[in-house]
Amino acid sequence: MFYPFRGHPLFFASLWEPIDPTEFSRGVGISNPITIEDASVSSVIEPEEVCSSDSEDDSAYDNSKTLGIFWNQKKWSAEEVHEYLVSSPTERESRRINRWMSRRLTGNSAGRDKKLSVCDTSLASLLRIPPSNTPIWEAKQYYVDDSVINAYFELLRKRWMEFPNFYMKNYSLPTWIMSFLLSGKWTESKVLSYLNIEEIAGTSKLFIPVCLENHWILICVDIESRALLWLDSLNSHHDKKGVISRWIIEHLMPKLGYDNAQEWQFLEPVDLPRQTNAVDCGIFVMKYADCLALGDQFPFTQLDIPLFRHHIFLDIYRGKIRPQIYSKNFRA
């Protein structure tokens, strides 16, 4: 059974106060739909100068010394994935989070990797822990936008490229791809012509994050298992499933050399972790993909989402997914 978590409602402001992420309050609240501006299509943002008021360098991590027991393992056990997911921030990471909770937001590009193009106002939304019954007029401040989603999926691929022996080879389509297709702005063939087929070829798992009616869902084309996975943290009904599936099966997969994709399985996992509020769908989508890059286990619940928000903030800020588990079985 999943339980909602506690939190403090914080409003968008140029200056906001630090909160204690360990304080949670119980309740339920998914009855009110999110009503926000259409965030499913983002324009390309040229990165501005990195805005950072501290000089502390926490970007230099030696992952080769922290992967430990996972060396040469292609898939992780549920216990190993869970230990990685819920590992606590270091003291240095906690200090960075607290500084960001009291900094003035400018709208400028933030983080060490300018190519990710995430502004500080978008990044700061990850540090706001929503209460279980978030009022509809407060929902937007907790919602993650396209820039955050795209940046995190880029980091998943970057992690695989650095350590190809530990993670499933993955590639993701930018969030606006399906938005252009579903809105009719681009034809099916034009969407296909945009993609770098050579980069996608040989991928084990292709991630397609999609925002449908202000709700993030994840489509995973599991090429290794010959299956299409539909991962929805609310298990909601969407009439766009057929359109998206048809484009993948009839257009994308033949271009990749799979002419029999119509015979692949279409799966909607029933044992997925589910959200118990109305604002955390984007966090679930990012962590679904993180888990799929490790194997096929999803050992987390809604109670872990506040911690995940901090993890994702730190990952995007430093331009690199946090170091993995320190294992007592590791031998240098």
Burial of 275 by CB count in 10 Å (0-12 exposed, 13-18 middle, 19+ buried)? buried
In the predicted model, is pLDDT for residue 10 greater than 80?
A: no
CA distances (Å), origin 291, targets 79, 164, 206, 213, 295: 12, 15, 13, 25, 6
Q: Is residue 50 part of a domain?
A: no
Q: Is residue 236 part of a domain?
A: yes
Q: Is residue 218 part of a domain?
A: yes
Q: Is residue 32 part of a domain?
A: no
Q: What is the CATH number of the domain that holds 137?
A: 3.40.395.10
The pLDDT, as a whole number, for residue 138 is 82
| pLDDT tens digits for range 170-201 | 999 999 999 999 999 999 999 999 999 999 98
**248-256 contact pairs (CB < 8 A, 24+):** 248/208, 248/219, 248/221, 251/188, 251/189, 251/191, 251/192, 252/192, 252/195, 252/221, 253/221, 255/192, 255/195, 255/197, 256/197, 256/200, 256/201, 256/223
Q: Is residue 289 part of a domain?
A: yes
φ/ψ region of 221 (left if φ > 0, alpha if ψ in -120 to 50, else beta) reads beta
Count of domains for the chain: 1
The pLDDT, as a whole number, for residue 83 is 92
Q: How many CB atoms lie within 10 A of CB 161?
A: 11
Averaged pLDDT for residues 115-143: 88
Comparing 56-65, 85-94, 277-286, which segment has the lowest mean pLDDT?
Answer: 56-65
Give the count of alpha carbons within 13 A of 200, CB side only. 22
Spatial CB neighbours of 199, under 8 Å, sequence gap ≥ 6:
171
Averaged pLDDT for residues 35-44: 35
Q: Is residue 13 part of a domain?
A: no
The pLDDT, as a whole number, for residue 60 is 42
The answer to whether 309 and 91 are in contact (CB under 8 A) is no
The pLDDT, as a whole number, for residue 323 is 64
Provide the token pair at 211: 């925002």
Spatial CB neighbours of 117, under 8 Å, sequence gap ≥ 6:
44, 45, 46, 47, 109, 147, 151
| Chain-centre distance for alpha carbon 238 | 21
Q: Is residue 22 part of a domain?
A: no
In the predicted model, is pLDDT for residue 255 greater than 60?
A: yes
Spatial CB neighbours of 331, under 8 Å, sequence gap ≥ 6:
none
Q: Is residue 1 part of a domain?
A: no
Q: Give the range of the structural domain holding residue 221, as residue numbers without chain letter.
A: 63-318
CA separation for the pair 163, 169 (Å, rounded): 10
The pLDDT, as a whole number, for residue 74 is 56
Range with the largest mean pLDDT of 65-69, 240-244, 299-303 = 299-303
